[in-house]
Chain A
Amino acid sequence: MKRMLTTLLMAAALGLGVSLPLAAQDKAPAAAAPTANATVATAEAQAPAAAAATDSKAEAPMAASAAAPEAAPAAATPVPNKGDTAWMIMATVLVILMTIPGLALFYGGLVRSKNMLSILMQTMMVFAVVAVLWAIYGYPLAFGGDGQVIGTLDKLFLRGITPDSVAATFSKGVYIPEYIFVAFQCTFAAITPALIIGAFAERIRFSAALLFCVLWFTFSYLPIAHMVWYWAGPDAITDAASLEAVTANAGWLWGKGALDFAGGTVVHINAGVAGLVGAFIIGKRLGYGRESMAPHSLAFTMIGASLLWVGWFGFNVGSNLEANGVAALAFVNTFVATAAATVAWSLAEWMSKGKPSMLGAASGAVAGLVAVTPACGFVGPMGAIVIGLSAGVVCLWGVNGLKRLLGADDSLDVFGVHGLGGILGALLTGVFASPALGGVGIFDYVTNAANPEYSIASQVWVQAQAVLTTIVWSAVVSAIAYKLVDLVVGLRVAEDEEREGLDISSHGESAYHS
């Protein structure tokens, strides 16, 4: 009965995607171009529905449809630069590697061997399911339309996008193929729910994991991505009036001026909070606190962490959407912040516990990567180092002291590392983006230069608003989604199945045969 209900629910989710576009069939594909007529007179500016942010502001451009029949009479379709395109293709590949097998092995090594395959399966399947849903309906809901909270379904099934379609970047007149923008953002949407599974590892029902991730992706990832990253693109801003128009139509948090280069809020806080809520709702593992639940292979965990670090260069640097000096800055920051965090965690652990552990070093690296994610294109390298050092120490506390305080069995420390690291990174971005502290400041698309004025206090307050919004939104959506999934299929496996190990009970396989 429950299995039938799950299938029905998932089919309904897909069916939604199918029926809506059929209804809106006649809508012109290039319709999403609110700023098209208004501002851009330059040759390049096709229908800059694409929100691309060049230097400072948010990410997520909309794509400018190459077709745009009624919009721009003059401009020929901008032709993307081959270097930018090639880079974005590689960046996308790197982020895929982060999930499969990076995250899969990082998490997998941390669980007991009887549950190894369940982690690998959940990671791979969540990734695959969300990737398909992104292509069907996720992309336009995140990066389309005019709303402040969510997009539209005008590009359902990626309708209207062709190999010639372009998406804006953060530089005026610079575009990349829309398809690669779709693919790049797809990898983000797919890895984010996969992060959550660490929180309820070793006891979640497989169908529940998939169902929850589908619901959470739809109702938490997409809106937050839209609120933080959606705008009409740099070519839509030419003067104060157009800036105001763009801001009024952009994502709510983008409009407030929140800085999140590669997804500190959208990905890490979002997933971290969902994980913590899940850990509370699903309950502790059998034997937690009494039996040994030591990682079965820290060698795998280290391999996974290394793949994450390397792949993260695609994640952070690719978020620049083009290959230029800002991308290089993001690269350096991703490098040094992570290194600093690894050292900080290891040293702090060495001093407090007596021995520096491999798990600590690997965790420190991930914490640094998480914290520098919102900051990488905005801060200077020294600021990045400070962010990394802080993350190493703060997240070490997150998985020790804070974890004991909270009292939940967040099995793989999703909140302690991703949640806390994301919060810290988002707030510190507000500090170190300041030109006074080596940052690049906030780019003004009207004057086409960085704004010389920068108030750390007010920017940190804006960052805090983004952080709080994400925390509350994710927590509420997650709680509802978990409860719903529990009603439909049941969140947890039976006791004897948990004892036997999910590999055998859920997947009929063993990872290892001794």
Chain B
Amino acid sequence: MKLITAIIKPFKLDEVREALSTIGVQGITVTEVKGFGRQKGHTELYRGAEYVVDFLPKVKLEVAVAEDLVERVIEAVEASARTGKIGDGKIFVFDLEQVVRIRTGETGADAL
């Protein structure tokens, strides 16, 4: 089992979500985050005080999937989240040790 984490541009969330649905991913968790990579921030000016805002709003999504789905998930996210401009984001794949469905107590692949 793998946990796939993707940082994407916020306005791409709907597209990515649909793409994941299409390939059969049932659930995802979404968090609003801030961050930067190579994309620069912007400057804000309040009367005499200038602030450089480095952190840009992003969306982080997490999906737990069986190993055989990983390639397709990565492809789907990549394709739907890409704009071609700097700041599109990254995808991280983690090894997932255990999964439990709280309602029923199922574990492992049954809980995905």
Contacts and interface: CB of A to CB of B under 8 A. Distances in A.
A413 interface: yes
Interface residues of B, number: 8
Say what secondary structure dominates the interface of chain A.
helix
Interface string A391-428: 00000000111011000000001001000000000000
B48 A404 contact: yes
Contacts of A19: none
B94 interface: no
B6 to A, nearest CB: 24
B86 interface: no
Contacts of B47: 359-360, 363, 399-400, 403, 413, 416
Interface in A52-104: none
A294 interface: yes
B44 interface: yes
A357 B51 CA distance: 14
B45 interface: yes
Contacts of A353: 45
A294 B46 contact: yes
Contacts of B102: none
A413 B48 CA distance: 10
B46 to A, nearest CB: 6
Say what secondary structure dominates the interface of chain B.
strand
B44 A399 contact: no
Nearest to B50: A353
A403 B48 contact: yes
Instruction: Give the bracket for the number of chain A residues in contact with chain B.
Output: 10 to 19
A431 B89 CA distance: 61
Contacts of B48: 399-401, 403-404
A359 B51 CA distance: 14
A482 B13 CA distance: 54
B45 A357 contact: yes
Interface in B48-104: 48-49, 51, 53
Nearest to A349: B45
A437 interface: no
Interface string A285-304: 00000001111000000000
A355 interface: yes
A295 B51 CA distance: 11
A154 B45 CA distance: 52
Contacts of B45: 353, 355, 357
Contacts of B44: 294
Interface string A363-404: 100000000000000000000000000000000000111011
Nearest to B45: A353
A114 to B, nearest CB: 17
B45 to A, nearest CB: 6
Contacts of A403: 47-48
A83 to B, nearest CB: 42
Contacts of A404: 48
A399 B49 CA distance: 9
Nearest to A400: B48
B89 to A, nearest CB: 24
Nearest to B47: A399
Nearest to A291: B51
Nearest to A402: B48
A295 B53 CA distance: 14
B44, B45, B46, B47: most-surrounded residue (chain A CB, <10 A): B47
25 contacts: A292-B51, A292-B53, A293-B49, A294-B44, A294-B46, A294-B49, A294-B51, A295-B46, A353-B45, A355-B45, A357-B45, A357-B46, A359-B46, A359-B47, A360-B47, A363-B47, A399-B47, A399-B48, A400-B47, A400-B48, A401-B48, A403-B47, A403-B48, A404-B48, A413-B47
The 9 A-B pairs at the shortest CB distance, nearest first, are namely: A400-B48, A399-B47, A292-B51, A403-B48, A399-B48, A294-B46, A294-B51, A359-B46, A353-B45
